[in-house]
Amino acid sequence: NAGVTQTPKFQVLKTGQSMTLQCAQDMNHNSMYWYRQDPGMGLRLIYYSASEGTTDKGEVPNGYNVSRLNKREFSLRLESAAPSQTSVYFCASGRQINEKLFFGSGTQLSVL
């Protein structure tokens, strides 16, 4: 039972570098989400995808892009990383609008 799988678990970048965070779910969920978690800030929504082929901005989308590659996969890209993007990133998925979200184990990203 893999659930939601995120890669990598840890990453260190230099300012200006780019990278893609990968997320895949095996629960046949329609909706997928990317959150960032910062101390004292809780989780904030970056982007979400209500279904395959659609993506929408969340609360804090600046500096990020996403791709819903297929129903299983939802990637998050940092084109030019900044120190302010140092955070823990969580991918989540859900089946229906009033049901719970399932979370991956997170990616700890440091931008130097």
**Nearest distance from C-beta of residue 61 to other proteins, angstroms:** 12
Q: Which is nearer to other proteins, 19 or 50 (CB)?
A: 50
Please, what is the end-to-end C-alpha distance for the chain in angstroms?
35
Q: Which residues bind other proteins (CB under 8 A)?
A: 4, 30-31, 33, 35, 40-45, 48, 50-51, 56, 58, 90, 92, 94, 97-98, 100-101, 103-106
**Two tokens, residue 91:** 């991918």
**Nearest distance from C-beta of residue 51 to other proteins, angstroms:** 8
What is the number of other CB atoms lying within 10 angstroms of the CB of residue 95? 14
- Collapse the DSSP code of 83 into the 3-class scheme (helix H, G, I; strand E, B; otherwise coil) and give the result: helix
**Nearest distance from C-beta of residue 105 to other proteins, angstroms:** 5
- Collapse the DSSP code of 35 into the 3-class scheme (helix H, G, I; strand E, B; otherwise coil) and give the result: strand
